[in-house]
């Protein structure tokens, strides 16, 4: 699919990856990026997608250090020539991650 946009998707855990765990007494991020990808197979018809399992943390566990490491991975993907990046992130802290990435990113 050389004519389709090349997209990197980073999976960080969070709500989108959670399943019920009787052992943990609630829900925990257990689904991999591949598990989530399988729910939207049409993406591969439109984009040349590469999937990255960055982490499987609940949203509140995204520390500044983890966010900055994620930023480095995003920046590397853009430097490698990806047309775009998608971050599948938990809803509890997505705005903090987006804000920190915006602060340190110096290219529009």
Active site residue 91: no
Catalytic residue among 15, 19, 27, 91: 15
CATH number at 20 reads 3.40.50.1170
For residue range 1-31, what is the model confidence (pLDDT) as tens digits?
Answer: 468 999 999 998 888 888 888 887 788 888 8
Look at residue 1 and tell me if it is in a domain: no
The structure tokens 């009787």 sit at 22
DSSP 8-state code for residue 17: G
Look at residue 26 and tell me if it is in a domain: yes
Look at residue 93 and tell me if it is in a domain: yes
Return the number of other C-beta atoms located less than 10 Å from residue 67's C-beta. 20
Task: Determine the pLDDT at residue 108.
Answer: 61
Counted domains in the chain: 1
For residue range 35-73, what is the model confidence (pLDDT) as tens digits?
Answer: 888 888 898 899 999 989 888 877 788 899 999 999 999
């Amino acid at each position: 699919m050389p004519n389709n946009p090349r997209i990197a998707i980073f999976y960080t855990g969070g709500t989108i990856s959670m399943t019920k765990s009787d052992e943990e007494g609630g829900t925990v991020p257990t689904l991999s990026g591949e598990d989530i990808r399988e729910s939207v197979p049409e993406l591969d018809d439109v984009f040349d997608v590469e999937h990255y399992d960055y982490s499987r943390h609940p949203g509140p566990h995204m520390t500044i250090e983890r966010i900055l490491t994620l930023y480095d991975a995003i920046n590397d993907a853009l430097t490698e020539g990806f047309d775009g990046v998608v971050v599948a992130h938990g809803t509890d802290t997505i705005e903090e991650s987006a804000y920190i990435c915006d602060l340190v990113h110096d290219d529009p």
